[in-house]
């Protein structure tokens, strides 16, 4: 690798970056001293596209001008508005138009899809999750197990890293799936683990689960917009995501769901139903016989929030103009390598990266653990924030930093490592 640690290299990398101009399409907050913040929390709340205000304002203006008629008029008619998001989302997650829908929020979607895809029997009742699952996922799975008359003590299978390791091993996961085989109803895992940043081998997990007759759902909160996904080709049964992290859909933004084509028309699946799941051509006939849309839209319940979807459209259009996940991932890989090199050269063993090094096993997040006797990681995090870095602290001891290829530059990375070096120096004084 031909990177060097001087600032000129960062500037050269930015000058050669074909996606560099997208940075100007986002508002990035200012640091306390007025200089631009190093915004490395796009894994928590993605930056706002400058165009979002126009997209939202357009709908406010249509509301003012047309009132209720805006439901029906023009290309932006509100009744089918959610359809405007489907193809872009499909490109990001590797799903077909019939398989993808923008709706609700992540945990709500997880519940809705577990109603359909966790169908326990006395023999096959177990759900496999990971030990460090995001609390909401853990709560959702446990409550679903109870709701179906089972006991999490018997029905919850937890995958753990080996003792002394941070991340899950592929072989251990596949072995665990095989071990619980005929008792396993559902494998519910993250695409990218939120704490370590590890990418799980989704295609292999799916194949292994299907081999034993289990279904597979993925939580893509940290995967959508971060790494390329191919849900249809991997044969995943269902997936859910939120849009406020890498998809820049705004606080509490519209979530999404994927249901594989082979299930979307299956009327035997249990389902919680609402009027927006009705076939679109008869949705407004107001009949009371549920005749579900033959697509992922049949999981919709309610008339969706147009202003929230408008903000998300601004971001999805940006992803499309950037060429989608392939070029973004290419830039992200260069940023990951550059970051890794600077950490090794400048920071050395004062900081440990618990995120896997192999590109296939990680996205753009770096989960850093301070390894200096007597130095509290939380104080280092506070020092970084004071110096104009937005990054986060995750209990018990990790600082997460996520250089996002759509709007973070190589110069951001270079500046960050310089600041980290300084903060660590000061911490030992």
Ligand X SMILES: *Cc1c(COP(=O)(O)O)cnc(C)c1O
Question: What residues line the site for ligand X (CB under 6 A)?
Answer: 105-107, 134, 136-137, 190, 194, 219, 221-222, 242, 255
Report the residue number, 252 or 323, with the smaller CB distance to ligand X: 252
Please work out, in degrees rounded to the nearest 5, the angle formed at the alpha carbon of residue 124 by the alpha carbons of 300 and 234.
55
Closest contact distance (angstroms) between CB of 361 and ligand X is: 17
Report the residue number, 43 or 408, with the smaller CB distance to ligand X: 43
Distance in angstroms (rounded) separating the CA atoms of residues 29 and 210 = 45
Closest contact distance (angstroms) between CB of 193 and ligand X is: 8
Closest contact distance (angstroms) between CB of 225 and ligand X is: 12
Residues 6+ apart with CB under 8 A from 398: 195, 196, 354, 367, 368, 369, 377
Please work out, in degrees rounded to the nearest 5, the angle formed at the alpha carbon of residue 277 by the alpha carbons of 126 and 230.
60
Distance in angstroms (rounded) separating the CA atoms of residues 3 and 14 = 13
Q: Can you read off the two tokens belonging to residue 346? A: 């400048």
Q: How many other CB atoms are there within 10 angstroms of residue 287's CB atom? A: 11
Closest contact distance (angstroms) between CB of 41 and ligand X is: 12
Report the residue number, 183 or 237, with the smaller CB distance to ligand X: 237
Report the residue number, 114 or 387, with the smaller CB distance to ligand X: 114
Report the residue number, 195 or 319, with the smaller CB distance to ligand X: 195
Report the residue number, 351 or 390, with the smaller CB distance to ligand X: 390
For residue 209, give the 3-state DSSP assignment.
helix
The percent of the chain in helix, strand and coil, each rounded to the nearest 5, is 45, 15, 40
DSSP type of residue 200: P
Identify any residues that bridge with 188 across adjacent strands, giving them in sequence order. Answer: 217
**What are the residue ranges of helices labelled H in 50-201?**
52-66, 83-93, 106-117, 135-147, 152-155, 170-180
Closest contact distance (angstroms) between CB of 416 and ligand X is: 22
DSSP state letters, 342-400: HIIIIIGGGEEE-S-SSGGGB-S-EEEEE--TT--HHHHHHHHHHTTEE-EEETTTEEE
DSSP type of residue 182: G
Report the residue number, 9 or 315, with the smaller CB distance to ligand X: 315
Distance in angstroms (rounded) separating the CA atoms of residues 91 and 289 = 33
Closest contact distance (angstroms) between CB of 276 and ligand X is: 19
Identify any residues that bridge with 390 across adjacent strands, giving them in sequence order. Answer: 39
Closest contact distance (angstroms) between CB of 300 and ligand X is: 16
Q: How many other CB atoms are there within 10 angstroms of residue 172's CB atom? A: 14
Report the residue number, 222 or 283, with the smaller CB distance to ligand X: 222
Closest contact distance (angstroms) between CB of 199 and ligand X is: 13
Closest contact distance (angstroms) between CB of 385 and ligand X is: 20
Report the residue number, 240 or 351, with the smaller CB distance to ligand X: 240
Q: Can you read off the two tokens belonging to residue 162? A: 């080996």
Report the residue number, 251 or 294, with the smaller CB distance to ligand X: 251
Closest contact distance (angstroms) between CB of 130 and ligand X is: 10
Q: Which helix (H) or strand (E) holds 339?
A: helix 325-342
Note the Cα 124 to chain centre separation in Å: 29
DSSP state letters, 30-55: BPTTSSBPEE-BTTTSPPEETTHHHH
Report the residue number, 253 or 388, with the smaller CB distance to ligand X: 253
Closest contact distance (angstroms) between CB of 45 and ligand X is: 10
Distance in angstroms (rounded) separating the CA atoms of residues 263 and 243 = 24
């Amino acid at each position: 690798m031909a990177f060097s640690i001087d600032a000129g290299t960062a500037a050269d990398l930015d000058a050669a970056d074909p996606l560099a101009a997208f940075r100007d399409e986002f508002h990035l907050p200012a640091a306390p001293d007025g200089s631009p913040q190093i915004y490395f929390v796009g894994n928590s709340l993605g930056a706002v596209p400058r165009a979002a205000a126009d997209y939202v304002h357009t709908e406010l203006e249509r509301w003012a001008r047309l009132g209720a008629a805006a439901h029906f008029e023009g290309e932006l008619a509100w009744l089918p508005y959610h359809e405007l998001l489907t193809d872009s989302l499909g490109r990001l997650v590797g799903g077909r138009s019939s398989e993808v829908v923008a709706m609700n929020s992540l945990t709500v979607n997880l519940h809705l899809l577990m109603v359909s895809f966790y169908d326990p029997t006395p023999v096959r009742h177990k759900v496999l999750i990971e030990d460090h699952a995001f609390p909401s996922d853990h709560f959702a799975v446990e409550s679903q197990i109870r709701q179906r008359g089972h006991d999490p003590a018997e029905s919850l299978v937890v995958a753990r890293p080996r003792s002394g390791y941070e991340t899950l091993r592929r072989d251990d996961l596949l072995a665990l799936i095989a071990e619980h085989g005929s008792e396993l109803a559902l494998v519910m895992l993250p695409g990218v683990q939120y704490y370590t940043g590890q990418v799980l081998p989704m295609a292999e997990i799916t194949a292994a689960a299907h081999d034993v007759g289990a279904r597979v759902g993925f939580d893509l909160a940290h995967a959508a917009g971060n790494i390329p996904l191919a849900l249809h080709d991997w044969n995943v049964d269902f997936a859910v995501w939120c849009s406020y992290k890498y998809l820049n859909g705004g606080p509490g933004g519209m979530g999404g769901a994927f249901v594989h084509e082979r299930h979307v028309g299956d009327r035997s699946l249990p389902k919680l139903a609402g009027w927006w799941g009705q076939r679109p051509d008869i949705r407004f006939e107001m009949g009371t016989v549920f005749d579900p849309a033959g697509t992922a839209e049949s999981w919709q319940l309610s008339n969706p929030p147009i202003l929230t979807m408008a903000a998300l459209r601004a971001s999805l259009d940006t992803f499309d103009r950037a060429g989608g996940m392939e070029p973004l991932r290419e830039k992200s890989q260069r940023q990951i390598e550059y970051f890794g090199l600077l950490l090794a050269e400048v920071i050395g063993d004062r900081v440990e990266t618990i995120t896997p090094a192999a590109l296939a096993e990680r996205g753009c997040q770096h989960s850093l653990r301070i390894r200096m006797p007597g130095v509290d990681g939380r104080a280092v995090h506070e020092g970084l924030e004071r110096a104009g870095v937005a990054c986060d602290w995750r209990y018990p001891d990790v600082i997460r930093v996520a250089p996002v290829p759509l709007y973070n530059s190589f110069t951001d990375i270079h500046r960050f490592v310089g600041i980290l070096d300084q903060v660590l120096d000061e911490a030992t004084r």
